[in-house]
Structure 1
Amino acid sequence: MKVSLKDIHAIDVHAHPYLANREPYTGDEYVRQLSLAVIPNEIPQNYKRVHKQPFPGSNMWVQILIQRLAKYFSCEPTLEAVVEQRNKRAIDFKTYTRELFQDANLSGIVGDFGYPQPPLSKKEYRELCGVQIWEIHRIEPVMVRLSGECKNFAEFVDSYRRDLAEALKKEGMVGLKSIIAYRSGLDITPMNEALAQEEYEEFKGNSRAAVKNLRDYCLHIAMEECSAANKVMHIHTGIGDGEVVLPKASPSFLLEMLRDKKYRDTKVHLVHGGYPWVEEAAFIVSILPNVYMDISLQNPFSGHGVKRILSQVFEFAPFDKVMYGSDAFTMPEMNWLGVHLFKECFEEVLNGWVDSDYMDPETAQVIGEMVLYRNFENVYQDFLKEGK
């Protein structure tokens, strides 16, 4: 018996909504939509490219997507042929999206509607995808909005706390999300109201400013509100787009805060599993009972690296602490390949464990199901019926 995940449904615990492209994509535009880069790749006018040569800026993730879409579309595995077929099918974007989701057996998404801004409609995204949608409430847009509405720090803090508490009461809202790694880093200091207040005026004048004490303070409030509501605090860890504060994006910087006794019972979800510091994230979830991680962004954007990453993660991470994710953010192909690539790579890892006599096939099969959906159902079991 071989482990097979092909027919197992998946729940994507971290992805973003998107809209249909208004005009057909060129090859250049399509590759840009697939990239994490903040600054677009500029192709020299005299750049020479031979047949089958990957498009400038393409990496293994893009190459694998082109290869797999070519098989799905039954066309030549070139960017030009794939984009041509994609443009034809995506004219009816809803049908195209739902076909991809059904082909991948993707049954649900935890959506971060904090990107893009302004937020897209949860109802419209649910109608587009045809799957269950849960939601997380991103704290940074709340901070920006309230800084423009509140005259002083005391009013800001009161309004901010009230906003988070009210958001967590909404049906289908499973937690809060912070991207503090993009602004001031993950080395969170103890809660200090006086220092936070000193930086409030600077934040009002520049919402992208580091203002570390204020941001740390607001993250602590978010942790407190998640604790009070028995919801999950999602924290971006590891790489992202080019704006991330990379030297302070490792999940290891969160350890001091996560070890705080007042957060002992707070559920924390390490978004993106700290990639490329996945071993550190795996260690953290192994020692802290209410901290979990997902395999989003690194899957599918590390391409062939997904197999290596899955093997590394489970060197330390308990099987019930890791969840599937994609971080899809511009188009359904990201969700689609995320599931297929993850399943293929995890099957290889699991069958390797069976061949090495680490476990029997039945156990390996269940572990695959745990990561694809069972762990999500256990961690978020109180909110499963709220996904709409």
Structure 2
Amino acid sequence: MSTELDLVPAGFVQAIEELPLVDHHVHGASAHDLSRKAFEEMITESDRPVPDWMTPFDSQLGFAILRHCAPALGLTAHCTPEEYLARRARLGADEVNRRLLTAAGVGHFLVETGYRGEELLGPSGMAEVSGVPADEVVRLETVAEQVAAGGCEAAAFAGRFAEALWERTRTARGLKTIAAYRCGLDFDPAPPDGAEVAEAAGRWLAEGGGRLTDPVLLRHLIWAGIERGLPLQFHIGYGDPDVDLRRSDPLLLRGLIERAEPSGTPLVLLHCYPYQRHAGFLAQAYPNVFFDVGLAVNYTGARSAAVVAESLEAAPFAKILYSSDAWGPAELHYLGAVLWRRAMARVLGGFVVEEEWSPEQAMKVAAMVGADNARRLYGLGPRS
């Protein structure tokens, strides 16, 4: 039985498979062996207990793991979850990580360390296991919460945060904000003044300075990030139930995008599902906007080619990036790369088969999105 990929020139498919990707937004792989319960909790975005009458393996992501990751661990494709997890346990976390991270074909990882980073491999650990460079992306909210935890007066917060941010980002390649989770993206786009920041900091610190959700302080962090000048990543759209999906549409950032445009700081929209077409519009309209469909590729599995195709509709190709947003099981790092390559081969190869694009144009776009755009944006240098 023929498939769509059978119609695509073999050399084009091979070239995409061999492209050393830049995973510009990723978290570390789990450094420890995982029980079935722990593994299943990491292959769903729900934070609720899994009912005993179902398994997250019965999903696009779960089926994709059994199809694509099983052979990488020495099993037949489409094995059972029990067979898969037993094989994973026999190999152990170190060997699973080594096999899957090296097989992903990533040439550079940009590792965001702000969420439960102590449970995962950091940039140096990712580099050691994968054999390729790994640099850090710093989460703004985590830096602010660390400043508060260290003891700080309200009037001194802005200065202390600026000092801490500079110190934490001396070698970082980018910044990230999760304002979509903390207050939604429909915030006032103007930078708050010093008095507003001090007043908001006073309220927050008086309450213990824990999880930062104050919109004034989040605006301050974002504008401090813009002034820092490193590419600033925004979580957009799909995520766990902590995010209000209605308030994570990237179109809500239009006012901020326009105000930030003179700074020249790149604003990078992550994941974007189901708003990938909205992100494409913004990337076309504004020179400071870039985006990916990261997390959505893994979670849409066999349907990921449709999501990737939509990301290519309106945006200039120089504004689109690749990421896996993998967190925890190395399956997600590997699978993000595999599914993205297959999607690009299908979508761009289809354009070639239909004689809408030349093979050279298709390979140029695959290389731009998979690696070259991120290398330019984050100052990684050209591919070797």
**Shared fold (TM-score, shorter chain, > 0.5):** yes
Tell me, yes or no, if structure 1 residue 11 matches structure 2 residue 22.
yes
2:353 — aligned with what? 355
How far does residue 18 in structure 1 lie from its aligned partner after superposition? Answer: 3.1
How far does residue 264 in structure 1 lie from its aligned partner after superposition? Answer: 4.3
How far does residue 56 in structure 1 lie from its aligned partner after superposition? Answer: 5.6
Query: 1:278–1:313: 8 Å Cα contact kept in structure 2?
Result: yes
Tell me, yes or no, if structure 1 residue 25 matches structure 2 residue 53.
no
Q: Which SS does the other structure have where 1:235 is aligned?
A: strand
State how far apart, in whole Å, the 2-side matches of 1:165 and 1:104 are: 33
Structure-2 change in CA distance of 1:354 and 1:164 (3 Å): same
2:6 — aligned with what? none
State how far apart, in whole Å, the 1-side matches of 2:357 and 2:176 are: 36
State how far apart, in whole Å, the 1-side matches of 2:56 and 2:182 are: 30
Q: Please say which of residues 133-142 and 204-213 is displaced more in the overlay.
A: 204-213
Structure-2 change in CA distance of 1:119 and 1:169 (3 Å): farther
Q: Which SS does the other structure have where 2:268 is aligned?
A: strand
1:65 — aligned with what? 65
How far does residue 165 in structure 1 lie from its aligned partner after superposition? Answer: 2.0
State how far apart, in whole Å, the 1-side matches of 2:318 and 2:341 are: 17
Q: Which SS does the other structure have where 2:39 is aligned?
A: helix
Query: 1:307–1:349: 8 Å Cα contact kept in structure 2?
Result: yes
Q: Which SS does the other structure have where 1:234 is aligned?
A: strand
How far does residue 209 in structure 1 lie from its aligned partner after superposition? Answer: 5.5
2:213 — aligned with what? 210
1:379 — aligned with what? 377
How far does residue 25 in structure 1 lie from its aligned partner after superposition? Answer: 2.6
Query: 1:31–1:58: 8 Å Cα contact kept in structure 2?
Result: no
Q: Which amino acid aligns with 1:242?
A: P
Q: Which amino acid aligns with 1:347?
A: A
State how far apart, in whole Å, the 2-side matches of 1:159 and 1:56 are: 43
Tell me, yes or no, if structure 1 residue 39 matches structure 2 residue 48.
yes
Query: 1:183–1:245: 8 Å Cα contact kept in structure 2?
Result: no
Q: Which structure 1 segments of 5+ residues have no match? A: 48-53
Structure-2 change in CA distance of 1:355 and 1:125 (3 Å): closer
1:175 — aligned with what? 174
How far does residue 57 in structure 1 lie from its aligned partner after superposition? Answer: 6.5
Q: What is the correspondence of 1:1-388 to structure 2 with a 5 Å cutoff? A: 1-2=9-10, 3-4=12-13, 5-22=16-33, 25-26=35-36, 28-43=37-52, 47=53, 55=55, 58-72=58-72, 73-75=74-76, 77-89=79-91, 91=92, 93-118=93-118, 121-170=122-171, 173-189=172-188, 190-193=190-193, 194-204=195-205, 205=207, 207-208=210-211, 210-226=213-229, 231-260=230-259, 263-272=262-271, 274-381=272-379, 383-384=380-381
Q: Which SS does the other structure have where 1:13 is aligned?
A: strand
State how far apart, in whole Å, the 2-side matches of 1:69 and 1:39 are: 25
1:287-339 CA-to-partner distances (Å, cap 9, x unmatched) read: 11122112210121121231111111111111111111101101111111111
- For normalisation by structure 2, the TM-score amounts to 0.88
Structure-2 change in CA distance of 1:255 and 1:25 (3 Å): same
1:64-97 CA-to-partner distances (Å, cap 9, x unmatched) read: 11122333323461101111111112x2x33432
- For normalisation by structure 1, the TM-score amounts to 0.87
1:196-237 CA-to-partner distances (Å, cap 9, x unmatched) read: 3332233221533532122112211111122xxxx2111111
Q: Which amino acid aligns with 2:337?
A: V
Q: Which SS does the other structure have where 1:270 is aligned?
A: strand
Report the number of matched residues: 364
Query: 1:202–1:211: 8 Å Cα contact kept in structure 2?
Result: no
State how far apart, in whole Å, the 1-side matches of 2:197 and 2:48 are: 32
Query: 1:41–1:57: 8 Å Cα contact kept in structure 2?
Result: no
State how far apart, in whole Å, the 1-side matches of 2:117 and 2:98 are: 24
State the superposition RMSD in angstroms. 2.1
Query: 1:323–1:373: 8 Å Cα contact kept in structure 2?
Result: yes
Q: Please say which of residues 176-185 and 33-42 is displaced more in the overlay.
A: 33-42
Q: Which structure 2 segments of 5+ residues have no match? A: 1-8
Q: Which amino acid aligns with 2:108?
A: G
Task: Quote the sequence identity (%).
Answer: 24
